[in-house]
Amino acid sequence: MSDSAENIARAFVRAINRQDVDGLTALMAPEHRFVDSLGTVSEGQEKMHSAWIGYFHMIPDYSIVVDETHCGGPVVVMLGTARGTYAPDGYLKPENRWETPLAIRAFVEEGLLTEWRVYADNEPVRQKMKTAG
């Protein structure tokens, strides 16, 4: 596979959809930055490895569907949908399923993701967290 920015970003999405934390980590630069939709920044490959493990524990079927991809040099913008099931007890209950529009801005240098920035309305997830039982 070519290490173009688009290919790296698409490989990252595939790893997310497989809940493949080692695959995600392998695509991150050591100084990788993750910026969530509230602007919270998490930095470092090791920290993000642990964060993805925690996220997949909370939402074990988290996935991204990409409908559009726009590339410009090292920057990739993907538009689509994020979905999953909030599973605090490990069970995927239909009433805890959510879906929301998603935009991602990925920045790739030397074949590795240096930044993964997510723009999404997290209110559907917050509501499931409040009402899940």
Q: What pLDDT digit, counting tens, does each position of 24-54 carry? A: 999 999 999 999 999 999 999 999 999 999 9
- The whole model's pTM is what? 0.91
17: amino acid identity, one letter: N
Residues 116, 78: Cα–Cα separation, whole Å: 11
First to last CA, the chain: 43
Average pLDDT in the chain: 92
Average pLDDT over residues 98-115: 96
Residues 27, 23: Cα–Cα separation, whole Å: 7
Q: Where are the domains of the chain?
A: 5-131
pLDDT value for 133 = 55
Q: Which CATH class is domain 5-131?
A: alpha beta
Q: What pLDDT digit, counting tens, does each position of 57-91 carry? A: 999 999 999 999 999 999 999 999 999 999 988 89
